[in-house]
A and B are shown apart, each in its own frame.
Chain A
């Protein structure tokens, strides 16, 4: 046990000597807390006398921001609305040169057949902010030309259903009475847990790489057992991850739910967080145990780093289960997902933060996850006996079999 703690202490002290560790230690809680203040920042930005920034998604406005002309050679437009009509192209071009208008559109004589239209401007570009307005102008005038107000109205809104009977069930991912702020808070905590899993995995692989590169793994394996070595590494990293998680959650508790208008993530309930932390810890241990297995089976460092990248993507998959939980947190599929060990470490905290969970479900989920974590740790320690990370060792199926059952 003493050796296990020695390995853990060395692992912790190594990271405490890195300035990058302190950067991430401070950055993550700050970012996590800052999300709570976003609505206030957004409100301040709206009130600030700054011009709005145009993006490719702001092209749907049918309001003109500057004067624009129209030359209607097809004789389709009856109401020019916000546009300035010109009878000839020459007159419009002259107005453009004088700066009376920013651009002008020419509706070709055969427009109904070809649909062709040209916009002339001094600086032509693919995306023009007056295109939506000219499209609306043409659509309105074409429909008005039908001389049938009913047809125009029904083309735009074909049906207004009037129901005589009980209201139909609403098709929605989340129940109508679900507090959106609570959902945001739950999503943020689940996101934090995903981040911590990814960081923990990265630190673990780096820790193994460090020993291999320094060629000291040979020395370590003769003086410690796999349980002491892996246990020490995991204990050290677990302490660091707990520190980061604790700081982030405390920062969130201080900031969330504090906006005067009630916007932003809801306050984090202490009881739900306390019940969530064991899931994070067990999930972290199971994840790291799987990573050790990968590092042992694919001892080439770049290969294991590549697989870590793929693993990070896979670690996001349980979050898809949140979509099943949202409509009904107490449905059979929700309960199954929060008890299943591959998804429970993220989805049980998510469900706990959305609303009350029966205590027996919390306990069963924790027991199943603990068993799963124990099996993973046992497997990883057996595999570690392969000593594949030692210099000159190559992994073969026979060696794997011997390590597992020999």
Chain B
């Protein structure tokens, strides 16, 4: 019962905080607003760089018999056809047209189009003419060849045996979605872990919880606080994921695609949920543990930031290098190491064939570390929160870790 009281107090106090609500709702808005603002700024810059488009028509002399007035785009300016350069020159001199484009009889061989003007037409007008010509050229190619030249082949990669995995183009989309999900879950995990770290570090410094310790056991206290903060993070993540799901379902409804059934029938869904959930909890355990260490002089923050930086390096490796070489020794090792396995294993799963033993071992190690981490957290609480522990130093931090592992091993025996 006490554990629920602590859990609920921690949970409710946090999710009703102004900053929590601002961040939960403001962060997605910021993620949308930043590219929009950037895009508007870029458009404004481009507008200032471009000269205004002259509204007068342009002339066309088509000696290759490729264009016709019926197919003229007439956007952003209209076109006037001339039979020869003398007429076009006269019209240009009179100011009736701003420029004329002369398609010579050897166009098919040379590709040359001579544009004559007094003031150069804007890039928009050049683009109108070149796009128009390209469309007419394409119209002369048989549609089945054009389609294949345009889109290229849809390549499926597979092994020689029938039961080997196959990777088609749609797996590319799948891998991009997986990368995006991993990135945002890790990002949300780091936000919550940061809060977990601050919250526990502050409370262990305030020492107000020592009063509570007289009425609850350390395990009840740490479990209540930890689960409460974990639920705070999961609520945030759930709200973002829910909003995304609603958007995806809405888009799917209008596009006539049942995205939900596609997601639910995805072969790696179970593994993804398991790996990301375990890593999420592991992040929080690590953050709570570092918070409890009460490392002096801000080194706790430094250590926590270093751990976060390591995670960023892993993400870079996994997104940038791994898809090209998914079966190297480094990739296999990173798939098994609990702090990197979620990211590396999941990306390997969608880009290559991963042996089953690696998947099973990776999950066992990951969840085993989570369980071990909970015991480590309990021991840290007893050692650092109740008994006035000495401020931590780096050598002691590693020594404590090693001796805790030894104690666990002895207990296991």
Contacts and interface: CB of A to CB of B under 8 A. Distances in A.
Nearest to B325: A54
A108 to B, nearest CB: 9
B137 A167 contact: no
Given A55-B320, A118-B156, A161-B126, A303 B18 contact: yes
A43 interface: no
Contacts of B115: 161-165
Interface stretch (B105-113, B180-188, B233-241): B105-113
B299 interface: yes
Interface residues of A, number: 81
Interface in A133-171: 134-135, 138-139, 142-143, 145-146, 150-151, 153-155, 157-169, 171
B395 interface: no
Interface stretch (B146-154, B260-268, B371-379): B146-154
Interface in B294-353: 297-299, 302, 319-321, 323-327, 350-353
B156 A117 contact: yes
A134 B325 CA distance: 20
5 A-B pairs with the lowest CB-CB distances in the bound complex, closest first:
A168-B120, A150-B108, A158-B134, A303-B19, A117-B153
Pick from A151, A162, A333 the residue with the most CB of B within 10 Å: A162
Interface in A1-48: 18-20
B130 interface: yes
B319 A56 contact: yes
A320 B41 contact: yes
Interface stretch (A120-128, A189-197, A362-370): A120-128
Interface stretch (B45-53, B55-63, B213-221, B382-390): B45-53
7 contacts: A58-B324, A115-B154, A117-B153, A125-B353, A168-B120, A302-B198, A320-B38
Contacts of A127: 323-324, 351
Interface stretch (B69-77, B167-175, B402-410): B167-175
A166 B297 CA distance: 67
A91 B306 CA distance: 54
Given A159-B111, A160-B111, A163-B115, A126 B175 contact: yes
A138 B152 CA distance: 8
A20 B147 contact: no
B79 interface: no
A222 interface: no
Contact of A142 (B130, B145, B175): B145
B10 to A, nearest CB: 14
A383 B375 CA distance: 47
B158 A97 contact: no
A167 B115 CA distance: 11
A312 to B, nearest CB: 12
Given A55-B320, A135-B152, A306-B23, A126 B113 contact: no
Contacts of A81: none
A54 B324 contact: yes
Given A124-B157, A126-B171, A111 B148 contact: yes
Interface residues of B, number: 84
B138 A155 contact: yes
Nearest to B206: A213
Contacts of B326: 125
B158 A118 contact: yes
A245 to B, nearest CB: 22
B192 to A, nearest CB: 13
Grouping DSSP codes into helix (H, G, I), strand (E, B) and loop, the B interface class, with mixed when no group exceeds half, is: helix
A112 B145 contact: yes
Interface of B: 17-19, 22-23, 26, 30, 34, 38, 41-42, 45, 48-51, 99, 107-121, 123, 126, 129-130, 133-134, 137-138, 140-142, 144-145, 147-149, 151-160, 164-167, 171-172, 175, 195, 198, 205, 297-299, 302, 319-321, 323-327, 350-353
Contacts of A213: 205
A331 B48 CA distance: 11
Given A119-B156, A123-B159, A135-B152, 17 more contacts: A19-B297, A54-B325, A97-B160, A105-B155, A111-B148, A111-B153, A116-B153, A125-B353, A126-B172, A155-B141, A160-B113, A166-B118, A171-B123, A213-B205, A313-B34, A320-B38, A331-B48
Nearest to B100: A164
Contacts of B166: 124
Contact of A333 (B23, B48, B158, B172): B48
Given A115-B151, A161-B115, A168-B120, A124 B352 contact: yes
A124 B166 CA distance: 7
Interface of A: 18-20, 53-59, 93, 96-97, 105, 107, 111-129, 131, 134-135, 138-139, 142-143, 145-146, 150-151, 153-155, 157-169, 171-173, 206, 213, 298, 300, 302-303, 305-307, 310, 313, 320, 323-324, 327, 331, 333
Contacts of A161: 113, 115, 126, 130
A114 B140 CA distance: 21
A125 B157 contact: yes
A121 B157 contact: yes
B321 A54 contact: yes
Given A54-B325, A124-B167, A154 B38 contact: no
B155 A131 contact: yes
A113 B144 contact: yes
Nearest to B92: A165
Pick from B30, B113, B160 the residue with the most CB of A within 10 Å: B160
A303 B17 contact: yes
Nearest to B169: A126
Contacts of A306: 19, 22-23
A341 B326 CA distance: 51
B155 A117 contact: yes
A196 B243 CA distance: 37
B156 A56 contact: no
B313 to A, nearest CB: 15
B297 A126 contact: no
Contacts of B325: 54
A55 B324 contact: yes
Contacts of A159: 111, 113, 129-130, 133-134
